């Protein structure tokens, strides 16, 4: 079969365009957003939180100092908790600040991660956008979505600051910046030569498109989230590796495109996925383990995948998935989706995992 070439990619939609890396084009509005002081501040603050350093969050006249609970300095006696975590422990219906009596690191960690923490030492304070932005910043840095909170006036010299609104808009703005930057033919063990194209965003994140045959509307597509444990190590705890191999076999045989996206552990990252595994070993299922850590059941966002599909001219796809939320996620960004089942083997090790997918997440298994 002929391989799809990145040079065939057209520009979809009206409006002026500008280059953003690799010679590809994105809209002027996206270029302006990425060049804005707010986007740059958010990007830098994600890096600071990832490195375990505190930043100042600003919302109007309100300012707070926030620091990642896992690996950063404790900057106050208050925690910012995500809506998922606050709901899980029954203290609020949305993101919240929680002032903790005797706020040593061990106590704070129990409030943020224990299945049944001692809430008699916790006082809930209004959260709103500041608490939401604090935990979103932690998620973007793949930290535990719990931040210690202190007085902004106590921030060390040189501490960076960012507006809460810029943190909350960062993820969606970034997704719009994916452009193709490199492409080459790659022979696959599944039995075909694919054209593999790397799409890079404005800060260096990558989505790989593995295409066999001509990419045209109605093409068979798999949007696969990276899974180090399943795809690389061959873990039997999930069906990710089996689904990846099955998808590549179908694409090699019938033609199609596989997008490999960096959304490990349903978007929570490898470190937090391993934390969730530990909670599963203590009796929680996959859904509750993620929620207990402060995440939603599924944190994945399909905006980037939709942008890459648009670059490939694929506004209508046959999507290899058992997950209605994945189909709905792509459709929310204008991709027309016809689901195609992708059923991997059931093993003693992944039976409970698959049952949770079916009963709690609505997967068609």
Query: Are 227 and 264 within 8 A, CB to CB?
Result: yes
Nearest 5 degrees, angle CA 128-CA 303-CA 60? 25
């991660």: which residue's tokens?
A: 113
For 107, 190, 207, 234, 322, the CA distances from 251, given in Å and listed in that order, are 51, 9, 18, 21, 17
CA distance 271 to 265: 9
Q: Which of 300, 301, 358, 364 is catalytic?
A: 300
| 32 is annotated as an active-site residue | no
Q: Which of 166, 298, 301, 318 is catalytic?
A: 298
Q: At what angle do helices 303-311 and 164-175 cross, to 10 degrees?
A: 30
Name the phi and psi angles at 185, rounded to 5.
Answer: -75, 140
CA nearest to 268, candidates 230, 305, 301, 300: 300
Q: At what angle do helices 164-175 and 37-50 cross, to 10 degrees?
A: 100
Query: Are 178 and 87 within 8 A, CB to CB?
Result: no
| 300 is annotated as an active-site residue | yes
Residues marked active site are found at 298, 300
């Amino acid at each position: 079969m002929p391989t799809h070439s990145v040079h065939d990619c057209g520009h979809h939609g009206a409006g002026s365009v500008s280059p953003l890396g690799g010679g590809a084009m994105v809209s002027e509005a996206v270029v302006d957003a990425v060049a804005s002081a707010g986007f740059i501040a958010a990007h830098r603050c994600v890096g600071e939180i990832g490195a375990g350093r505190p930043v100042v969050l600003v919302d109007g006249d309100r300012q707070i100092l926030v620091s990642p609970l896992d690996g950063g300095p404790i900057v106050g006696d208050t925690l910012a908790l995500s809506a998922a975590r606050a709901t899980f422990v029954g203290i609020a219906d949305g993101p919240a600040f929680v002032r903790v009596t005797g706020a040593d690191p061990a106590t704070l960690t129990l409030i943020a991660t224990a299945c049944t923490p001692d809430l008699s030492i916790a006082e809930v304070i209004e959260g709103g956008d500041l608490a939401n932005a604090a935990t979103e910043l932690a998620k973007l840095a793949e930290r535990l979505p719990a931040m210690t909170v202190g007085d902004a006036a106590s921030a060390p010299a040189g501490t960076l600051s960012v507006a809460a609104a810029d943190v909350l808009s960062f993820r969606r703005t970034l997704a719009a910046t994916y452009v193709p930057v490199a492409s080459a033919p790659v022979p696959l063990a599944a039995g075909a030569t694919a054209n593999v194209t790397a799409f890079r965003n404005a800060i260096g994140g990558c989505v790989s498109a593995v295409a066999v045959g001509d990419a045209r509307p109605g093409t068979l597509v798999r949007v696969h989230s990276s899974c180090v444990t399943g795809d690389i190590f061959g873990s039997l705890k999930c069906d990710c590796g089996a689904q990846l191999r099955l998808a590549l076999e179908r694409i090699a045989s019938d033609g199609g495109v596989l997008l490999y996206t960096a959304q490990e552990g349903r978007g929570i990252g490898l470190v937090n996925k391993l934390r969730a595994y530990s909670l599963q070993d203590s009796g929680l299922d996959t859904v509750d383990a993620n929620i207990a850590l402060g995440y939603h059941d599924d944190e994945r966002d399909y905006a980037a995948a939709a942008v890459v599909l648009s670059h490939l001219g694929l506004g209508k796809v046959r999507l290899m998935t058992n997950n209605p939320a994945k189909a709905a996620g792509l459709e929310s960004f204008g991709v027309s989706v016809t689901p195609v089942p992708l059923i991997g083997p059931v093993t003693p090790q992944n039976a409970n995992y698959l049952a949770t997918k079916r009963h709690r997440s609505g997967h068609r298994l």
